[in-house]
Amino acid sequence: MYELKIALRQVFSSKKQTLFAILAVALAVSVITVMMAMISGFQDEVVTSSIENNPHIVINPQDEEEESIHLYRYKSALISEKEGVIAVSPKYLGQAALEYRDNAEGVYLQGVDPMAEESVMRVSEDVVEGDLMTLVHTRYGILLGDQLAENLEVNVGDRVDVVFPGSQTTSFKVVGLIHTGTSADEVTAYARFDSVQDFFNEPGVASTIEVRVADPYQADAIAGSIERETGLDAVSWSEANVEIFSFLEAQAAFVKIFYFLIYGVAGFGIANTLITIVAQRTREIGILKAMGTSQKSIMFVFLFQSMILGAAGLVLGTILGYIATVALQSYEIEIPPETYFGLQTLPLEVEPLNFVYAAFFAFIVNILSGIYPARKAAKLDPVKAIER
Partner 1 sequence: MTDESPVIELKNLTKVYQNGVEFRTLDNANLRIKKGEFVAIVGPSGSGKSTLMHLIGLLDTPSSGTLLIDGKDVTKMSDKERSGMRNRILGFVFQYHHLLPDFTALENVMMPLLIAGKSREKAKDVAEKLLKEVGLEGRMEHRPGELSGGQNQRVAIARALSCSPAIVLGDEPTGNLDTKTGDMIYELLRRLNKEYNQTFIVVTHNEDLASKADIIIRLVDGKITVQ
CB 104 within 8 A of CB 98: yes
What's the chain's length in residues? 388
CA distance 227 to 54: 19
Interface pick for partner 1 out of 18, 289, 318, 370 (rule CB under 8 A): 289
Residue nearer to partner 1 on the CB measure, 139 or 384: 384
Asked if residue 388 binds partner 1 (CB under 8 A), the reply is: no
Binding mask 267-286 for partner 1 (x = CB under 8 A): ----------------xx-x
**Element (DSSP H or E) covering residue 254:** helix 242-280
Asked if residue 9 binds partner 1 (CB under 8 A), the reply is: yes
Asked if residue 290 binds partner 1 (CB under 8 A), the reply is: yes
Least separation in angstroms between residue 340's CB and partner 1 is 56
CB 188 within 8 A of CB 144: yes
Interface pick for partner 1 out of 236, 293, 305, 354 (rule CB under 8 A): 293
Asked if residue 16 binds partner 1 (CB under 8 A), the reply is: no
Interface pick for partner 1 out of 251, 294, 344, 345 (rule CB under 8 A): 294
Helices (H), 14-81: 15-53, 72-80
Least separation in angstroms between residue 366's CB and partner 1 is 22
Least separation in angstroms between residue 270's CB and partner 1 is 21
CA distance 47 to 236: 13
CA distance 202 to 210: 19
Residue nearer to partner 1 on the CB measure, 10 or 195: 10
Query: Residue 356: which of 327, 314, 323 has the closest Cα?
Result: 314
* 144 bridge partner residues: 177, 189
Binding mask 327-366 for partner 1 (x = CB under 8 A): ----------------------------------------
Interface pick for partner 1 out of 84, 295, 346, 372 (rule CB under 8 A): 295
CB 258 within 8 A of CB 357: no
CB 107 within 8 A of CB 188: yes
Binding site for partner 1 (CB under 8 A): 2, 5-6, 9-10, 13, 283-284, 286-297, 382-383, 386
